Structure 1
Amino acid sequence: MDDQHSVIVGVGLKMYMSHKDTMEWINLVRGIAKSHPAVTAGVVELFVLPSFTAVIPSVFALRDARVAVGAQDLFWEDRGAFTGEVSGRDLAEIGCTFVEVGHAERRRVLGESESIVSQKMLAAFRNSLTPVLCIGEPERVSAVDAAAECSRQLWSALEASKAQGKATKLIVAYEPQWAIGAPEPASAEFIREVVGILRIEIDSDPVLRGTRVIYGGSAGPKQLEALSGAVDGLFLGRSAHDAGALKHVLDEAWHLIG
């Protein structure tokens, strides 16, 4: 992590909270962000991904708090007869700046193929949304093999975008699938090795050079310090449902580079 760069901290809420609980959490985050020096000074770029029903009120609630709002998914087409889907064009129109793409649960539970992930990445770029692309190996393997699988997923996800020459500003969220929801994240040493290999490959591509890589997969407090110099931030899940834990992560970022 380059000290010249801000730290990226994202929180994905999945479908754990009711709408009421989500908005109470959003208001707690608003209060923390408006007073925390890591956010007000720009040391941390903070974004949240609430459930779809909470996106619009979250954009409104956080409009003056330097907290970006995104969605947990989008459809690969912008308009059409696609019952129940959500357009990237509409997400951008209501104020989203980020969108999550390719999470392991969507791949595994909802059957999203790599071709679909690639088309969704293209839809995000087409609508000036920054995709948070989730990649990660499904099972415990060596760091070298994990990095190879992550690299394969990354280039597969970018296939449609590269074919059409679309801009590729993105955030890569490294989430070992076996660590998602686990009691403990992957070890710091393992994450450092995987991300280090992946970053060399990313930086060798003139289009992707400078792409930020963050860690998810049971991420939580104390990991920023453990991973300092290896990742550009964290993608938090259940650990940040306690707004106090999110504040601890912001405290860590301020201590490291504030």
Structure 2
Amino acid sequence: MRRTIVAGNWKMNKTNAEAVEMLTKLAELVKGDEKVGVVIGAPFTALSDAVKAVEGSHIEIAAENMNANESGAFTGEISAKMLTSIGVKYVILGHSERREYYGETDEIVNEKVKAALANGLTPILCIGEKLEDREAGRTNEVNATQLKGGMAGLTAEDAAKVVIAYEPVWAIGTGKTATPEMAQETHKAIRDLLTEMFGAEVAGDMTIQYGGSMKPGNAKELMSEADIDGGLVGGASLDADSFAEIVKAGL
């Protein structure tokens, strides 16, 4: 059954102490809102304390990235096994900033998705177009390429465990947001493609988040659309009160 999941992506923000303070407050604010899945993506340094801070709540913790290899000479990298060993449940993969600044290709993202699934982590697979793609009418083409590349070689059973986050790159951190109608149109196209790839039953149950500057002021309208199943939230996830408002908008 399809589930609404609101996930926060803190990016390179918050010390351990700041993370614990925010999560302790958030856990109280969203108590009783279990109908909506709540996930927070924290920096590697804060993950262990973050997991402990949300014990007893329905908040889950995500890593913001990981390496596809199990172990080895990969200086500065973190494996899926390392993440699961401290209680991390989700991992954000293929974020536009990883693709843009660190050269991550669909092939690299695909290897990470497979490694996450093999180790019991739920991947939040990010896809989305840049402004020039949107203006040239290539939105669905770009999303299809990234979706097919990121999920290459997965069975329908594997695919059912993946969360998709559609993030129009032109709307991240710019204050611009796709209208609910624009976002719904793209989300439907993504679900239609998932139906072609993995069948209607799997596609119908998959969570597709919207990741383009979701805020308390637009969250309810966006999540009211038929194919928008939550959000991947950036800036608004840094504040407990704002993020809790977005969670409640998904009820």
Equivalent of 2:147 in 117, 132, 154: 154
2:2–2:206 contact (8 Å) kept in structure 1 = no
**Pairwise CA RMSD of aligned residues?**
2.0
1:46–1:68 contact (8 Å) kept in structure 2 = yes
Deviation of 1:5 after TM superposition, in Å, equals: 4.4
The equivalent of 2:218 in structure 1 is 223
Deviation of 1:18 after TM superposition, in Å, equals: 2.8
2:4–2:207 contact (8 Å) kept in structure 1 = no
Q: Unmatched 5+ residue regions in structure 1?
A: none
Judging changes above 3 Å, is the alpha-carbon distance between structure 1 residues 197 and 144 closer, same or farther for their aligned structure 2 residues? farther
Q: Report the secondary structure of 1:119's partner residue.
A: helix
Q: TM-score, normalised by structure 1?
A: 0.88
After TM superposition, list the pairs within 5 Å mapping 1:71-220 onto structure 2.
71-140=63-132, 141=134, 145-161=138-154, 167-168=158-159, 169-206=161-198, 208-209=202-203, 210-220=205-215
Amino acid at match of 2:79: S
The equivalent of 1:31 in structure 2 is 28
Judging changes above 3 Å, is the alpha-carbon distance between structure 1 residues 246 and 155 closer, same or farther for their aligned structure 2 residues? same
**Cα distance per residue 1:93-128 (max 9 Å; x no partner):** 211110000001111111112221111111111111
Q: TM-score, normalised by structure 2?
A: 0.90
Q: What CA distance in whole angstroms lies between the structure 2 residues aligned with 1:86 and 1:214?
A: 25
After TM superposition, list the pairs within 5 Å mapping 1:15-54 onto structure 2.
15-34=12-31, 37-38=32-33, 42-54=34-46
Quick check: 1:242 aligned with 2:235? no
Equivalent of 2:57 in 56, 65, 80: 65
Q: Unmatched 5+ residue regions in structure 2?
A: none
Deviation of 1:224 after TM superposition, in Å, equals: 3.4
Q: What CA distance in whole angstroms lies between the structure 2 residues aligned with 1:123 and 1:166?
A: 15
Ranked by relative contact order (alpha carbons within 8 Å, sequence separation 6 or more), the top structure is 2
2:15–2:46 contact (8 Å) kept in structure 1 = no
Deviation of 1:50 after TM superposition, in Å, equals: 0.7
Higher alpha-carbon deviation: 134-143 or 176-185: 134-143
Deviation of 1:143 after TM superposition, in Å, equals: 9.6
